[in-house]
Amino acid sequence: MKKVARREFLRIAAAAALVCAAASLTGCGQNVEKLVVGDWYLEGSDRLRFTIYDDGTVNIPGTYGTGKWSIVNDNQLKISDFYGESTVLKIEDIDKDSMTCRQIYDGREDEETITYWHKAEDAVKH
């Protein structure tokens, strides 16, 4: 009787853990979508790399026209220029100040991380 009760308890605990994990992941994509909006400067530089707008468009200085962006698989930022050429960045960490990511080439992640900052002065400091 005790073994059955223990198994049932473990089964319920495992189910509860799965529900909690799923609940914590729900809406992650929406949070990332809010955090990526704004100006982004590459670490060590005060030159603006791109500006992401909440309407799904992106401005890349030095390129023609307005591009598009989207969050793919909850953690990949896909940026496409006016002509449709895309760059995919796997977001490893993002907060209100910075975004650390790895570029994906032909489905393979780059070994080095890239850090972007919302403010030029923060990018230059780091």
What is the rounded average pLDDT for all residues in the chain? Answer: 85
pLDDT (tens digit per residue) in 81-114 = 999 999 999 999 999 999 999 999 998 999 999 9
pLDDT (tens digit per residue) in 15-62 = 444 333 333 333 445 699 999 999 999 999 999 999 999 999 999 999
Which of 27 and 67 is assigned the larger pLDDT? 67
Domains of the chain, by residue range, sit at 28-125
* CATH ID of 28-125, from 2.160.20, 2.40.128, 2.30.30, 3.30.70: 2.40.128
Instruction: Give the separation between CA 120 and CA 73, rounded to whole angstroms.
Output: 29
pTM of the model: 0.74
pLDDT given at position 35: 97
Spatial neighbors of 63 by CB under 8 A, at least 6 apart, are 81, 82
- The residue among 119, 91, 93 whose CA lies nearest residue 103 is 91
Which of 52 and 11 is assigned the larger pLDDT? 52
pLDDT given at position 23: 36
Instruction: Give the separation between CA 46 and CA 125, rounded to whole angstroms.
Output: 10
